[in-house]
Structure 1
Amino acid sequence: MISRYAVADIEKIWTDENKYQVWLDVEKYIVEAWASLKVVPQKDLAALSQLKVDLPRMLVIEQETKHDVVAFTRMLGEQIGHESKWIHLGVTSTDIVDTAQNFLIKNSNVIVEQELKNLLKTLKSLALKNEKILIMGRTHGMYGEPTSLGLKFALWYEEINRQIKRLELARKDIELVKISGSMGNYANLELAVESFVAKKMKMGVDSLSTQVTQRDRHAFLISVFGNLASTLEKIATEIRLFQRSDVNELAEGFSAGQKGSSSMPHKKNPISSENIAGLSRFIRAFTNLAFENNNLWHERDISHSSNERIMFPDIFNTLVYALRRMNDTLQNLQINKVQIQKHIDEAHNIYFSQRVLTYIIMHNALVTREEVYDLIQKCTTISMVEKTDLKEVLLNNDILNFISKQEFDTLFDKQFFNRQTKQIFKRVFNQK
């Protein structure tokens, strides 16, 4: 991952030093498991416990072996005496590599989940704070009816909540130990060895594998990340649309000393949202790669190995970076209440068209829906062309003679559009 988008917490997990330390931990746990089965003498464990990763030496050996795990085990074997024969007993390379990688994925998933929960907290706060603020709702980019600004944030809260649930399912699928031997049939192993290692690493057990953990598990996780990225881009796009000069209802915070353009000093651009949108596309690009990795030859090949060395560090770095930037963007979001109200007012009440339509249909048995619809459509057109309040245009039509002026006025209460918001919030936030 390039330094611009690297996240220290993730980078630390995926360093070579940490990866090979986890390899060593797995090797040690396997030996301990054999000892628990009385295959490895207890007296030999002391020497094995002193093993350390000597990365420079391993790299030298790998120049000859052209095999990183063989180089690794030989590097370890050089550090002790006859006890070295117990290293890698009954296992194959991917027992170590896949188990370790799944463990690194587990530790990275913990960070992703925490960032999602941080984002949830921010979205809930924004939703509750803006519950009563009405903002013009839009479909096809055009004015529809006013809605609660808080509902927008609540909608994103609910979607992030669903993404967390999907992540939880994917975590159960991928955070597994795989110690099943060369063909995955435990021919040179005991199932108890795998269970022992799983308990040590606080992970599940892959119930059936080949020489590798099956990559449908990885594809599921990456597809969840791709879905999550689509949510982040959705939020980012909404912010970008609202920050347009002709809308100007929401905008990213602009810090002291920040510049929007190298040539136009007046510019304040939604750079964070655009950044997140671009990174979201990058994250989704990994989904096809992950699915293709599931197509390995027979019990295994290594066509997946090369791209996974790049994919996992990059996708975790990018995702956590994007989540943190999104959270920061939302926490510093500027809400232009004056502009929001201006857009509601300049619509001249045309957004009450459905309210009036429904009321007449329900209370006047002498008209058809088509008659009322066509009439109100004409009235809204007049209202917008002449910039006249829809109420005034409608009052000049006989179709409304059956109701009093006072009752007619009640049809144009803007809080009508917010009347169910509190109930929706109760459902979303599990409020009583």
Structure 2
Amino acid sequence: MTSIPLSSLTAVSPIDGRYSSKTESLRNVFSEYGLIRYRVTVEVRWLQYLSQHPAIGEVAPFSAVANSLLDQLVDDFTLEQALRIKEIERTTNHDVKAVEYLIKETIADNAELSAVSEFVHFACTSEDINNLSHALMLKEGRDNIVLPALQEIQQNLAAMGRDHANAAMLARTHGQTASPTTVGKEMANVAYRLERQMKQIAAVPMLGKINGAVGNYNAHLSAYPEIDWQAVAQEFIEQLGLDYNPYTTQIEPHDYMAELFDGLARSNTILIDYARDIWGYISLGYFKQKTIAGEVGSSTMPHKVNPIDFENAEGNMGIANALYGHLAAKLPISRWQRDLTDSTVLRNMGVGLGYSMIAYASLTKGMSKLQLNESKLSADLDNSWEVLAEPIQTVMRRYGIEEPYEKLKALTRGNVMDQATIQTFIDTLDMPEDAKTALKAMTPASYTGNAADQAQNI
């Protein structure tokens, strides 16, 4: 079969194909280029750190010119330089070693840096570089890409909660009519749940280690036994903006990653729940969807305006959660002091995030097209006077009327209720007239408790 060039049309994954415009922000972070870029960053910053350590006399503090060259390599790292690393890797068959060699090539013409080139990757195992790179990737992806996308959704939900705080809606439990709520309160429920998960995601510490081949600073201490390498590691890692993990094997054990992916999965689960509910409300007619000129709902039924954005979001978050589940279950497990099974799995961190970002874009688009159908909401409430059985029997309990629940059950269960039937029943009750008057003034649309207040306060 003839080979065809890679493009959004020929990509195997829809992340880089059909939905590439929705995942573009991830490329600079979670692509092979992104991983290489972070590896270069860690290697360079480690070399610069060593030059500042007073006990490492063989590496004098770098001049401004030398530091500028190194900073430029980090700050202006190019795709061409990443390709050069891949070219070197074809010879070394080792991706991290190829990074080391690229750095040495870059500094070869600077006498000051060339003289200490063997301190590039000093005392490091590849996983020292990799784990810090992965932590930096996840930190940038979480803080600058994923959380802002979730924040937009959460803010939209909260705004819908306030905007529709007073829009009474018939609730359904077990699919059956239940005590009314408001549309805004149902939106506020989701907004609050999502905000809580976002806080937990943001609070996950991004851990790192730089303690050598099995986590004991063996190589470090063999060269400089007088240095407190644990203190060095902690200071360096914290300078990178990460949190220090003092106890590891060759690999950072990835427990924090499991915490992060579990948190992301819980956020997605909340949003899947929301997408399914909105799908149902659209089906009931509680929401209409704004039509867009030129769009087609069905290839054969011209009238249809399908809730495709919510369906797309649900499907893609399901895929993301399947990946998050594997990442969270697999990554903390490694044979003895290290096996390589985490390596290939870690290259898929961006895949789960990619499907999430596709879903978030669809969800945001779908939410922007929603229009409340107040007439349908009112009609459903007007046809559901049986929901007032709850307040009536509750007030009956207050005034000592026997078997209130049973009497309302006999009146309403399986029977068609209307306002006249309910009010006739109230008239038969032995309770104060003001209590009867209050009950008779109640309608399904007014029986919403403090739903409006809760929605306004989100």
TM-score w.r.t. structure 2 length? 0.83
The correspondence for 1:331, drawn from 350, 368, 371, is 368
The correspondence for 2:128, drawn from 86, 95, 109, is 95
Does structure 2 retain, via aligned residues, the 8 Å contact 1:102–1:177? yes
The correspondence for 2:84, drawn from 40, 57, 67, is 57
CA drift at 1:314: 1.0
What's 1:5 paired with?
Answer: 19
**Superposed CA offset, 1:309-365 (max 9, x none):** 12x111222223322332332233111101111111122x111001111112221x3
**Superposed CA offset, 1:381-431 (max 9, x none):** 4741xxx515425626885255549834634413652342354347x53xx
14-23 vs 258-267, greater mean Cα deviation: 14-23
**Superposed CA offset, 1:256-300 (max 9, x none):** 221101111111111011111111111110233121221101121
Q: Hey, what's the Cα distance between the residues in 2 that align with 1:45 and 1:210?
A: 37
Does structure 1 retain, via aligned residues, the 8 Å contact 2:324–2:352? no
What's 1:186 paired with?
Answer: 217
What's 2:442 paired with?
Answer: 413
The correspondence for 1:268, drawn from 305, 308, 324, is 305
Q: Hey, what's the Cα distance between the residues in 1 that align with 2:414 and 2:134?
A: 66
The correspondence for 1:125, drawn from 125, 146, 159, is 159
CA drift at 1:210: 1.7
What's 1:149 paired with?
Answer: 183
Q: Which structure 2 segments of 5+ residues have no match?
A: 1-14, 109-113, 221-228
Does structure 2 retain, via aligned residues, the 8 Å contact 1:48–1:84? no
CA drift at 1:82: 3.9
Distance change >3 Å, CA 400–CA 43, structure 1 → 2: closer
Does structure 1 retain, via aligned residues, the 8 Å contact 2:184–2:455? no
Does structure 1 retain, via aligned residues, the 8 Å contact 2:171–2:181? yes
CA drift at 1:239: 0.8
374-383 vs 298-307, greater mean Cα deviation: 374-383
Q: Hey, what's the Cα distance between the residues in 1 that align with 2:61 and 2:414?
A: 92
Corresponding position: 1:236 with 2:252: no
Distance change >3 Å, CA 398–CA 263, structure 1 → 2: closer
The correspondence for 1:41, drawn from 40, 49, 60, is 60
Corresponding position: 1:278 with 2:340: no
Q: Secondary structure at the match of 1:144?
A: strand
Q: Hey, what's the Cα distance between the residues in 2 that align with 1:252 and 1:392?
A: 37
Letter of the 1:198 partner, please give it: I
Q: Hey, what's the Cα distance between the residues in 2 that align with 1:21 and 1:160?
A: 32
Corresponding position: 1:106 with 2:139: yes
Distance change >3 Å, CA 43–CA 159, structure 1 → 2: closer
Does structure 2 retain, via aligned residues, the 8 Å contact 1:276–1:325? yes
Does structure 2 retain, via aligned residues, the 8 Å contact 1:382–1:393? no
CA drift at 1:74: 2.2
Q: Secondary structure at the match of 1:3?
A: coil
CA drift at 1:46: 5.2
Does structure 1 retain, via aligned residues, the 8 Å contact 2:179–2:448? no
Q: Hey, what's the Cα distance between the residues in 2 that align with 1:49 and 1:21?
A: 17
What's 2:345 paired with?
Answer: 307
What's 2:334 paired with?
Answer: 296
The correspondence for 2:380, drawn from 343, 346, 349, is 343
What's 1:68 paired with?
Answer: 95
CA-based RMSD: 2.5
The correspondence for 2:421, drawn from 392, 404, 415, is 392
What's the % identity of the aligned pairs?
Answer: 21
Distance change >3 Å, CA 338–CA 227, structure 1 → 2: same
The correspondence for 1:254, drawn from 288, 291, 297, is 291
Q: Which structure 1 segments of 5+ residues have no match?
A: none
Q: Hey, what's the Cα distance between the residues in 2 that align with 1:360 and 1:83?
A: 88
Letter of the 2:100 partner, please give it: T
Does structure 1 retain, via aligned residues, the 8 Å contact 2:48–2:67? no
CA drift at 1:37: 1.4
Corresponding position: 1:354 with 2:387: no
**Superposed CA offset, 1:182-233 (max 9, x none):** 1112233323442343343222222322211112211111111111110110
Distance change >3 Å, CA 275–CA 12, structure 1 → 2: same
Does structure 2 retain, via aligned residues, the 8 Å contact 1:163–1:224? yes
What's 1:18 paired with?
Answer: 34
The correspondence for 1:321, drawn from 358, 367, 382, is 358
